[in-house]
Structure 1
Amino acid sequence: MNTISPWAATVQADLESSVVIWEKEWHKYNFQAYNAGDSLWIAVTWPDRGKMAFRAAFGMNSCFTITNMFDDGQTLVLNLETRLGRYEVIIAFPDENTAILHYTTTFKANQPLLIPFWPRDIIPLTQKGSVENTNGKIHMHQMGSRSGILFASMTKPKTGSFFYFQDLGSLSAYCEATQTTVDDTVCGSWPEIGFKLPSADDKPLPSDKPYIISDAYVLFSEDIIEDDIAVTHQFLNNLAAVYRLLPHPEIIYHNWPEITQNCLNDIYSNKGCWTQTNGSPYLNAYLCDYDTPAEVMVQLAVLMPLNELKHWYGETHSVYNDLLNGIDAFYDQKVKSINRWLPALNNQLDNSEIQKKEMVMDSWYLYHPLMNLTRLALKGEKKAEELVLKSIQYAIKVAHHFDYQWPVFFKMDTLEIIRKETEPGKGGEKDVPGSYAHLMLLEYRLTDDKRYLNEAERSVKKLAGCGFHIFYQANNTAFSAGALLELFKITGKKEYLDLSYACMACLFKNMQLWDCQYGFGKNYTNYFSVFPLNNAPYTAAYEEMEVYAALSEYLIQAAAIDLLPSLKILIAEFIKYAVCRLPFYYPVNLPLEMISEEVKTGEIQKELWIPLEDLYNGWEKSGQVGQEVYGAGVGFGAMIRQYHKVKNEDFLLFLDYPLINYRKSKQSVLFTVLGSAEFECNFKIVLPENRNIKFQVFAQKQIIEPAAKSNLLLEYTVAGGSAVKVSWK
């Protein structure tokens, strides 16, 4: 028997003694509204008679009087009053084809009110018996400021599942007025689950206007999902179904070529970005951090995007050669592999953190630099190829030693485990088997040696059964998804595609699908952010850039398969918002008052085009960790993926969805836009100054006119999946 609070103990009896004030049948589900005194409930009955109640409004120590009710068959509007204020509840069914309930509640107080308590809004019901005797399984719920999602199945009585999505962005005005936050508001313990309005303990809710206090979407299913693969797939489908219905923030266009030049100039010229060791220049991890020895990941995190930029521009920046010339020094003869720190500076490690000790390696950190070295080798860099082939046997040896299940920290020379688990009982870095497989597949491409393909297959078997727990670090989970997709394309084994989708579900579970417009969050677009770790309180520049790049490549590589339709929507839309959102990591784009005065590492120079590591929404200041030099590749990565050069022409094409089949034919360019036909992306022609060119743009063979035009831009919208032709004269 579950223990319950007084706010749950009486719900069943309250509803049984209350009169139904409204009723509707929708897709075999029955919906009834009850005024139960201090709560307005929406009771939902499944086709098999299982039942659950959703508290649409709470009277706060006061009872409701209904003053008006309007029902047009599709939308119900209820106006309610208590001694404390006036409420409006709108109940709607926004999707003709799916059992989705949407209810929005606004409240206008009669006087300023402190709100120290609010009950959760979901309670399971029974035909006979009591609430505390029900059981359910919560598949996932909100963590921190991620999306306001709760996905659960009711197992006793055996009923079905539901996917609850609270649009937390709608509560921004409430949070701004009361100086509260919506972090961790959608969770709970069975049977009291769902959303809990943030408590206004210190600053009262004003009586100046109505405030939205709930904006919930609930998708119902008769399925009780128990298989870990099924639950992750269903999560993606449910999320896409709700995403179709959400209001989406406006897209802001940024001049990425200009941002890229600013970044290059500042990296090259600012001494705070660099340190010298044995006559060679190395990038600091953080601006003006001269105490920490150079790290191989830091050098390669910028070198790899610079390599992409070199191929895009057709010329090499001097920073590129400086970084390339210095990577040999990271090879450690003791272990026959590149090391995290320059071996020559091991005596300068200050032991202040676990990883800042000689020979201590963070598992993912071993493989990440080897990935970038192999990518450079595949681009023709012989030095990188030599270095990775000298190190790869050690990487395989470590994988075998740990049986493809990596701890958090280990000693490189002895393979002694320093920290086994991320948290007690949670296991180690569970997505490293996937990122290791990604490395092995890169080696397979480089060498055509099937031993690496076999290694990849052995490793990913450790991901089976992990479900939502695959995720350790966002970029590594994204690499895992790509590796599994590639294995599916090579072998045809469906289990790899299923696991790839599970990785994708883990990524979207750790995103913020709402726009925080309160506190410091209102100074920048934060919609569709992805968090670097399960418990990270902030988003991070480098991890976001790598997820963005990996998902762009994923969508391109998946063009040849029958991709899950929900992923065609979610991946393409994530990319579109990433291109719009990533420039706000640069402190020049943020107001000074939201940048932290205290910095953990190095210092912050606001005028530099070097990104902050950490962006917080809400009331926390950003840049607390530092200004992240190794995130400088953000601009390079975005520009080369979203801008497309036209041979022998001086204009650019910009598209914020990925594209394939790009080809030029005389005075025209043709390409295919990826993504779903249900959504549109932004296509722009970036014009050169003082040149008159006439363009015609066709989508699906129909001519389209620009939505806006200026001297430097022609702006269009095109649907995902469109075949586009651009011609000019």
Structure 2
Amino acid sequence: MHTVTAWSTTAQADIENSEILLERKILDYTYQFYNTGDSLWIVALMPENAKIAFRTAFAMNNCFEVVNLFDDEDTIVFVLDSRLGSYEVRVNFPDKSSPLLHYTTTFKANIPLMIPFWPRDIIPLTENGTIENTSGKIHMEQFGSRSGLLFASITKPKTGSFFYFQNLTSLSEYCEATQTESKNTVGGDWPEIGFQLPITDKLPLPADKTFTISDAYIVLETEILEETSAICEHFLNNLVKIYKVLQQPRIEYHNWPEIAQNVVIDLSQNKGAWTQKNGIPYLNAYLCDYETPAESMVQLAVLSPYSEYGKWSGQKHSLYDDLINGLPAFYDPKINCINRWLPALADKLDNSEEQKKEMVMDSWYLHHPLMNLARLALHGDKTAEKLLLDSIDYAIKVAHHFKYKWPVFYDMETLKIIKKETAPGKGGERDVSGAYAHLMLLAFKVTKEKRYVNEAEKAAKKLTELGLNILYQANNTAFAAGALLELYKITNKKLYLEISYTCLTGLFKNIQLYDCRYGFGKNYTNFFSIFPLNNAPYTAAYEELEVYAALSEYFIQAKDVEILPSLKTLIPEFIKYAVNRIAYYYPPKLPKEMLSEEVKTGELQADLWVPLEDLYNGWEQSGQVGQEVYGAGMAFGIVPRQYIKIDEDFLIFIDYPHQFTKRGKSVTIHLDGDKDMTCNLKVIKLSKSKIDFKVLQDNEMLKAHKKTAKMHEYEISGQALIKIQW
């Protein structure tokens, strides 16, 4: 039996003893509306007569009077009065093909009010008995600033499952007025679960102004979900059902080629970005951090996307040579592998953190530089290829030693574990086996040696033991998803495709699917941002870039695979918003007042095109960790993926993943997303010469919705064949 509070213990009896105000049937589901005095409830009756109740409004120590009830085929509206203020509850069913319930509640207080408590809004009901005797399994719930969602199955009585989504964008005005936050608002302890309005402990809710205090979407299902694969598939499907009826924020275009040029100039000219040893320059991890030795990961994190950008632009810059020339010095003959720290500077490690010691390796840091070496090798760089092949056997030796289950820290010489688990009982860096599989498949592409595919398979199978708990670090999980998709294509084993979906579910439950428009969050678009770790309080520049790049590649690799339809919505939409959003990591894009005055590492220069590590929404300032030089490659990664360069005449920009072919005076672009969604295409003139062109979508002429002398803008379908002719 569960313990319940006074606000829920009588809820079932109150509902049973109240009259039905209204009843609405949608497909096999019936929705009944009750006023129980201090609450307005919607009770959903499932096909087998099981029930679940949603509290749409709470009168706060008062009783409701239903002043007006409006009902047409589209919308039901309750106007409620209490002594404290007036409420309006609007209910609709936006998708007639599924039992998707949506209700929005607004409140206008008569006097300024402090709100020290608010009850959760979901209560499972029983046929006979009380709610404390119900049982359920919460599959996912909100953590921190992530999406306000809760996905659960009610197992006693055997009711089914529900997917609850609170649109926290709508809560922004409330949070701005009361100096509260929308983080950790959706969750709870069974059986009192759902959304809890943030309590006011600083400022009262002002009088005589209407605020949205709930904006909830609910998908009901009769199935009780137990298997990981079923939970993942239903999670992704339900997320898409709600995403398609959500109002999404507008897209703001950023001139990424110009940003890339700014980054090249600042990165090459700012002395705070560099340190030097034996006459060779190395990038610092953070701006003006001269105390920490150079790291191989940092050099390659910029060099790898820069090589893509250099190939796209056709320009050669000394930045490439400076970085590639410094790489061989990271090779450590003591272990026959490149090291994390530059061996010649290892004596500068101050032991201030567990990993800031010579020969201590953070597991994912071993694989990450090797992946980028492999990418450079595939682009034809012989220095990178030699370093990769000289180091890869050490990585395999470590994998065998740890049986493909990596700890957090270990000694590179002895392989002694220094820190086994991220937290007690949580295991080590769980998704590293997926990152290792990705590295092995890259090595296979470089060498064509089958042993690397065998290694990838052995590592991938370890992920099956983790259920929903694969994600340790978002970029590693994204690489893992891609590796598993490739293994499925190589072996045709469905298991790998299913684990790939589990990885993607881990990513999409770790996003913020709302726009925080209060505090410092209102200064930039943060819709669809992804957090680097499950418990990270901020989003991080480099991890966001890598997830963006990995999912772009995933979508291209999936062109010959029948992936879940939900992924054809979520992945392209994530990419569209990433291209729109991650420019805000560069401090020149932000107002100075939202930048932290104290910086943990190095210095912060607000006019420099080097990204902040950390972006917070809400009331916290950003850049508290520092300006991460290793994240400076964001623009270099985005430009080649989203811009098609047509000689020196014009650029074609498209914010969806795509593939294109150029023949003579035409470009054909294939989009394989969701036909119900749209993306943005821009034709940007570079030269003064007059170029006439036409844009066709599925052989029909498109008209630009906006034109200037330099740019023509189009809105196109997420699934289409686009032709541009000039």
TM-score bracket, normalised by the shorter chain, equals: over 0.9
SS of equivalent residue, structure 2 residue 644: strand
* Aligned residue number for residue 510 of structure 2: 510
What is the correspondence of 1:291-690 to structure 2 with a 5 Å cutoff?
291-646=291-646, 648-660=647-659, 662-690=660-688
Q: Is the 8 A contact 2:649 2:687 kept in 1?
A: no
* Aligned residue number for residue 722 of structure 1: 720
Residues 172-199 of structure 1, C-alpha deviations (whole Å, 9 max, x = no match) = 0000000000111000110000000000
SS of equivalent residue, structure 1 residue 204: coil
Partner AA of 1:652 in structure 2: L
Residues 565-597 of structure 1, C-alpha deviations (whole Å, 9 max, x = no match) = 100000000000000001100110101110000
* Aligned residue number for residue 192 of structure 2: 192
Q: Return the offset for 1:48.
A: 1.1
Moved more, 43-52 or 437-446: 43-52
Partner AA of 1:349 in structure 2: L
SS of equivalent residue, structure 2 residue 719: coil
Q: Is the 8 A contact 2:31 2:44 kept in 1?
A: yes
Distance across 2 between alignment mates of 1:316 and 1:538: 35
Q: Return the offset for 1:333.
A: 1.0
Distance across 1 between alignment mates of 2:494 and 2:178: 50
Distance across 1 between alignment mates of 2:695 and 2:713: 11
Q: Return the offset for 1:520.
A: 0.1
* Aligned residue number for residue 72 of structure 1: 72
Distance across 1 between alignment mates of 2:27 and 2:366: 52
Partner AA of 1:218 in structure 2: I
Q: Is the 8 A contact 1:256 1:635 kept in 2?
A: yes
Distance across 1 between alignment mates of 2:96 and 2:164: 18
Residues 107-157 of structure 1, C-alpha deviations (whole Å, 9 max, x = no match) = 000011000100000011001011000000000100100000100000000
Q: Return the offset for 1:358.
A: 1.2
Q: Is the 8 A contact 2:266 2:610 kept in 1?
A: yes
Distance across 2 between alignment mates of 1:277 and 1:69: 76
Distance across 1 between alignment mates of 2:396 and 2:697: 48
* Aligned residue number for residue 225 of structure 2: 225
Distance across 2 between alignment mates of 1:528 and 1:416: 40
TM-score, with normalisation over the residues of structure 2? 0.99
Residues 11-64 of structure 1, C-alpha deviations (whole Å, 9 max, x = no match) = 011111111101111121111010001011111111111111100000011110
Partner AA of 1:324 in structure 2: I
Residues 526-551 of structure 1, C-alpha deviations (whole Å, 9 max, x = no match) = 00000000000000000000000010
What is the correspondence of 1:699-714 to structure 2 with a 5 Å cutoff?
699-714=697-712
* Aligned residue number for residue 165 of structure 1: 165
Partner AA of 2:654 in structure 1: L
Distance across 1 between alignment mates of 2:586 and 2:329: 31
Q: Is the 8 A contact 1:232 1:467 kept in 2?
A: no
Distance across 2 between alignment mates of 1:438 and 1:301: 16
Partner AA of 1:79 in structure 2: V
Distance across 1 between alignment mates of 2:357 and 2:553: 36
Partner AA of 1:692 in structure 2: K
Change beyond 3 A, Cα 1:537–1:30: same
* Aligned residue number for residue 94 of structure 1: 94
What is the correspondence of 1:202-221 to structure 2 with a 5 Å cutoff?
202-221=202-221
Distance across 1 between alignment mates of 2:672 and 2:571: 10
Partner AA of 2:41 in structure 1: W
- Point out where structure 1 has 5 or more consecutive residues left out of the alignment: none
Partner AA of 1:207 in structure 2: A
Distance across 2 between alignment mates of 1:422 and 1:343: 27
Distance across 2 between alignment mates of 1:556 and 1:208: 53
Q: Is the 8 A contact 1:273 1:286 kept in 2?
A: yes
Partner AA of 1:655 in structure 2: I
SS of equivalent residue, structure 2 residue 224: coil
* Aligned residue number for residue 58 of structure 1: 58
Q: Is the 8 A contact 1:541 1:585 kept in 2?
A: yes
Q: Return the offset for 1:649.
A: 4.8
Distance across 1 between alignment mates of 2:292 and 2:408: 21
Partner AA of 2:210 in structure 1: P
Q: Return the offset for 1:689.
A: 4.4
Distance across 2 between alignment mates of 1:406 and 1:49: 48
SS of equivalent residue, structure 1 residue 423: coil
Residues 60-82 of structure 1, C-alpha deviations (whole Å, 9 max, x = no match) = 11110000000003311000000
Partner AA of 1:555 in structure 2: F
Q: Is the 8 A contact 2:187 2:195 kept in 1?
A: yes
Distance across 2 between alignment mates of 1:428 and 1:235: 26
Q: Return the offset for 1:690.
A: 2.5
Residues 574-621 of structure 1, C-alpha deviations (whole Å, 9 max, x = no match) = 000000001100110101110000000000000000000000000000
Distance across 2 between alignment mates of 1:39 and 1:202: 26
Distance across 1 between alignment mates of 2:102 and 2:685: 44
Distance across 2 between alignment mates of 1:243 and 1:154: 24
Partner AA of 2:653 in structure 1: F
Distance across 2 between alignment mates of 1:201 and 1:59: 19
User: Following superposition, which runs of at least 4 residues in structure 1 exceed 4 angstroms of deviation?
Assistant: none
SS of equivalent residue, structure 2 residue 114: strand
Residues 660-718 of structure 1, C-alpha deviations (whole Å, 9 max, x = no match) = 2x222222211212311110100000012422211111001110100100011000011
Distance across 2 between alignment mates of 1:664 and 1:355: 48
Moved more, 25-34 or 475-484: 25-34
* Aligned residue number for residue 137 of structure 1: 137
Q: Percent identity?
A: 62
Q: Return the offset for 1:208.
A: 3.5
SS of equivalent residue, structure 1 residue 579: helix
Distance across 2 between alignment mates of 1:46 and 1:2: 23
Distance across 1 between alignment mates of 2:365 and 2:237: 33
Distance across 2 between alignment mates of 1:198 and 1:313: 49
- Point out where structure 2 has 5 or more consecutive residues left out of the alignment: none
Alpha-carbon RMSD across the aligned residues, in angstroms, is 0.8
Q: Is the 8 A contact 1:296 1:369 kept in 2?
A: yes
Distance across 2 between alignment mates of 1:39 and 1:356: 56
Residues 304-342 of structure 1, C-alpha deviations (whole Å, 9 max, x = no match) = 011101111123210110000000111111111111001
Residues 67-102 of structure 1, C-alpha deviations (whole Å, 9 max, x = no match) = 000000331100000000000001110001011100
Distance across 2 between alignment mates of 1:204 and 1:338: 57
Residues 275-307 of structure 1, C-alpha deviations (whole Å, 9 max, x = no match) = 011111000000000000000000000000111
Distance across 2 between alignment mates of 1:452 and 1:465: 22
Distance across 2 between alignment mates of 1:465 and 1:89: 45
Q: Indicate yes or no: 2:696 matched with 1:698.
A: yes
Q: Return the offset for 1:468.
A: 2.2
Partner AA of 2:249 in structure 1: P
SS of equivalent residue, structure 1 residue 132: helix
Distance across 2 between alignment mates of 1:604 and 1:184: 30
* Aligned residue number for residue 235 of structure 2: 235
Q: Return the offset for 1:507.
A: 0.3
Residues 435-468 of structure 1, C-alpha deviations (whole Å, 9 max, x = no match) = 0000000011111111000000000111114232
* Aligned residue number for residue 81 of structure 1: 81
SS of equivalent residue, structure 1 residue 698: strand
* Aligned residue number for residue 276 of structure 2: 276
Partner AA of 1:110 in structure 2: N
